[in-house]
Chain A
Amino acid sequence: MNEYFKVIRGGINSTFQDEGRKNFSHIGLPSSGVMDKRNFIIANTIINNQKEDPVLEFAYQGPSLKYFGNKRFIIITGDVNFKITKNNKKEILGKCYKTIEIDNGDIIDIISTNKSVYGYFTVNGGFKINRVWGSYSTTVRAEVGPNKGNKLLNGQNINLNKSSVIQSRSLNFVNSKIEFIRVIKGTNFQFFSDQSKRDFFSKVFVVTKLTDRMGMRLEGVKLKNLKKTNIKSEGLVKGTIQVPADGNPIILLSDHGTIGGYPKFGVVISADYDKLIQLPPGSKIKFKEILLKDAENLYKIYNMETNNILNKIK
């Protein structure tokens, strides 16, 4: 029997993702992949799937899905409000980081993320989708990835693999907030005035509504470029803080354009990326300058923390 979800509502931007696609940046395709890596790993580990299995990532409002199949478990990670309407109309309020059993006819309604942006959904057994160019990640703008490179659309089906028997599992976990986003100076840092360099690492910036998987636009003190506001186009990496002529920084995120011509003020360190991308519009950010060696150590600590969290799954 074919087991599947019917998509009642696709949600704002629900896509299949994994850790990202390698080796296509030179043709213009960013790595994409999950925005919040830690919550992705937790989801697959709790539900007993493989580390590299795809998940469904959603932003703000997630999908509403009707299930057709045998009993199986689902998991949602992040800070997410959701409910499950059973076949007998009884409603259950959802709890993140806890496997929940669903049955034929149940509806999972992922209502919203709470003071955060991204959440993750998967089922035991996993989604029946194929890798495209070596990855389950979706880059909607290039139409590359599973589901024909599209986000989830109303009315479509999501086919599921057979589920194996697992035990109910859960994790006691709260996503912590951050005080600072740590940044390594970029290749064009010297273009900016001394005042702007000080301002960037002392003043508060606000996340604007112009924020999506491609990038996050900030507002705050304008950063003054003394040298030139355009450079010859060159490659970009995730976390790059670009400053165009208007002086407002843009942080490039996982679906970023691969080439660009705005000066690079800095780059957000790998250890802080998961927390950065969870900041919804209106959030305040403070930046802190950090050296490469310290950033590398913080990444080791980030990995250790993730492992500690995974070890607490019961």
Chain B
Amino acid sequence: MIKNIVNLGDAAIYCDFGNEVDKETNLKVIKYFKNIKDKNLKGVTNLSPSYNKLIITFDLNETSFDKLSLDLSNLDIENEIENKCQKINIPVCFDDEYSLDISRLEKKLSKSKNEIIRTFLSKTYFCYMTGFIAGMPFLGDLNKSIMLDRLETPRVKVPKGSVGLTEQFCNIYTFESPGGWNIIGNTPIKIFNSLSLSKPNLINPGDEVSFYEINKKEYLKVYNE
């Protein structure tokens, strides 16, 4: 199922599952990721699943690219991965002070703010992966009518909690960070919790995520809790 395996430097394996970005390909990546994680292969230090790639880093003192590639090819990948996928509802406030790029969106998409928000809220999104910054979920796919490119010049600081759109994806900034996604709103809830070892990420790969609208008063109430 892995189309190609190559080394990435001297301490990582790059598993290529193809170039497609869709749920089917991504579920294959997640399946491999979960199987490898459960089997504790010798020397593996970190796993980074993404849309259609899986990168495995290892400790060069314990194994090597050749040895670990062999371990991988001998690995019994169980089809039945435990299906722990959750359905998660995220509240978002779309007030102007939070929807930083709404006028860009209105102009580029030739739609009103209300239409954009209704279209955005009408779908349930699949979590392809988490990362870049801790806990940030990459969700998709957006309705075609609200897809657009990232900002020409990325923001130096995107506020924590911002909900952004780019291409067929949406995400949530778990920390203040540089970034180039089109920001349409902000959620007051904590998506990444550094104090919770058992469940630091609210949203994990394979989860189904939907959004609902809240007003500023509700936003502040949750925010201050």
Report A's interface with B, CB cutoff 8 A: 20, 22-29, 31, 133, 139, 141-144, 149, 184, 186-187, 232-240, 257-260, 264, 267-270, 292, 295-296, 299, 303
For A27, list chain B residues within 8 Å (CB): 130-131, 134-135, 192, 200-201, 204
Inter-chain contact A257/B131, CB cutoff 8 Å? yes
Inter-chain contact B9/A184, CB cutoff 8 Å? yes
Q: Which of A24, A144, A237, A292 has the most CB of B within 10 A?
A: A237
B142 at the interface (CB under 8 A from A): no
Nearest 3 Cβ contacts at the A-B interface: A235-B48, A267-B9, A235-B55
Can you list 25 A-B pairs, Cβ within 8 angstroms, ordered by A? Answer: A23-B47, A26-B130, A26-B131, A27-B130, A27-B135, A28-B131, A28-B135, A28-B201, A139-B134, A141-B134, A149-B194, A186-B8, A232-B19, A233-B51, A234-B48, A234-B50, A235-B49, A236-B55, A237-B9, A237-B55, A264-B8, A270-B9, A296-B10, A299-B10, A303-B61
| A234 vs B33: C-alpha distance when bound (angstroms) | 14
Which residues of B (14-57) have their CB < 8 Å from a CB of A?
14, 19, 21, 33, 37, 45-55, 57
Closest Cβ of chain A to B128, distance in Å, is: 9
Inter-chain contact B194/A25, CB cutoff 8 Å? no
| A37 vs B14: C-alpha distance when bound (angstroms) | 24
Closest Cβ of chain A to B31, distance in Å, is: 13
Known pairs A28-B134, A233-B138; list 4 more (Cβ under 8 Å).
Answer: A26-B205, A28-B136, A187-B8, A235-B131
B129 at the interface (CB under 8 A from A): yes
Closest Cβ of chain A to B47, distance in Å, is: 5
For B50, list chain A residues within 8 Å (CB): 232-235, 259
Q: Which of B48, B61, B135 has the most CB of A within 10 A?
A: B48
B124 at the interface (CB under 8 A from A): no
